[in-house]
Structure 1
Amino acid sequence: MPYWLRFLLVAWLTTGSVFAFSLSQQGSGVEQIRASELPREAQQTLLLIKTGGPFPYARDGIVFGNYEKRLPRQPRGYYTEYTVKTPGRRDRGPRRIIAGERRDYYYTDDHYQSFKRILE
């Protein structure tokens, strides 16, 4: 086999392996939760997201920047955030649902410190 062909084959195999590895690692480490296991308020917020509102908080639907990089990397604007009402709190509280453009949803109850992917 010519040297240049062997070089291309090795390069192609290596690149493919690295690419497959990066895809398999995307979003790893994010726990999962069934929608039915969410707190009642989060279930209500998820329903509002899916039906297009109306949303109770003015900041619902703003872009979530994923600056902490705890969710799979996506282009800016892919994720939006919505407040989940926290009983006993007068402010927005720490609970949110993050919605992706491809109908992928994540729940946090500690203001972005950790996330759980919502399974439907």
Structure 2
Amino acid sequence: MKGIARLLSLAAVLVLVVGLGIVLSGTPEAPVSPGVSASSTAATAPAASSPPVSPTTATGSVVAGSGLEAVAASSLPPEARETLALIARGGPYPYSRDGAVFSNFERLLPRKPGGYYKEFTVRTPGESDRGARRIVGGGSGEKYYTPDHYESFLLILEGQ
């Protein structure tokens, strides 16, 4: 009986680890826009992506209380500005995961209650999946840009 209980415990732990791995992996997915296929998107996208936003293109100011640098929306890659416009219009969004809850597991954004943050894909030309770039929006309207799949964030200064 002890052997069966131990085996069931190990199986439960394995299921939890696999489930957590799936959730945290950020599995890429294809766009779900009607009438747009992945092959047509890849064929029309330019080969080179926009340069990443770096501290030299940011305002250089650190936002009080967050410890994050700020970047003018006008300094973001064009695809990020397109995503900001989609967010302002309320969609429609090209990826099924757009608008999903961002849990801030990395703890790089200010800590807020669960469900406060939502994530949106920033298209990366030449990528066949969602790529690494995202905009994360907060419940109070603030938005953050990550060019590197949540490794770093910049506070977006909209209207600048």
TM range (shorter): 0.7 to 0.9
Partner of 2:86: 48
Q: Residue 13 of structure 1 aligns with which residue?
A: none
Aligned to 1:79: 117
2:107 to 45, 65, 69: 69
TM-score of the aligned structures, taking structure 1 as reference length: 0.77
Root-mean-square deviation over aligned CA pairs: 1.3
The secondary structure found in structure 1 opposite 2:124 is coil
- Shift of residue 76 of structure 1? 0.5
Other-structure match for 2:154: 116
| TM-score (normalised: structure 2) | 0.58
**In structure 2, how many angstroms separate the alpha carbons of the residues matched to 1:76 and 1:25?**
22
Q: Measure the CA separation in 2 of the matches of 1:118 and 1:25.
A: 14
With over 3 angstroms needed to count, the CA separation of the structure-2 counterparts of 1:89 and 1:27, relative to structure 1, is same
Query: Aligned partner of 1:104: which letter?
Result: E
- Looking at structure 2, the residues matched to 26 and 71 of structure 1 have their Cα atoms a distance apart, in angstroms, of 10
Which residue does 1:4 correspond to in 2?
none
Between the aligned partners of 2:85 and 2:104, the Cα distance in structure 1 is 23
Residue of 55, 62, 66 corresponding to 1:27: 66
How far the C-alpha of 1:50 sits from its partner, in A, is 1.1
Amino acid at match of 2:89: T
- List alignment gaps of at least 5 residues for structure 1: 1-23
Aligned residue number for residue 99 of structure 1:
137
Tell me, in whole angstroms, the C-alpha distance in 2 between the residues paired with 1:89 and 1:112.
18
For residues 105 and 138 of structure 2, the distance between their equivalents in structure 1, rounded to whole angstroms, comes to: 15
**Distance in 1 (alpha carbons) for counterparts of 2:65 and 2:128:** 36
Paired residues, what number?
A: 96
Measure, in 1, the Cα distance between the counterparts of 2:105 and 2:65.
Answer: 16
Counterpart-to-counterpart distance in 2, 1:32 and 1:25: 10
Q: In structure 1, what is the Cα distance between the partners aligned to 2:111 and 2:130? A: 26
Unpaired runs of 5+ in structure 2?
1-62
- Report runs of 4+ in structure 1 exceeding 3 Å deviation: none
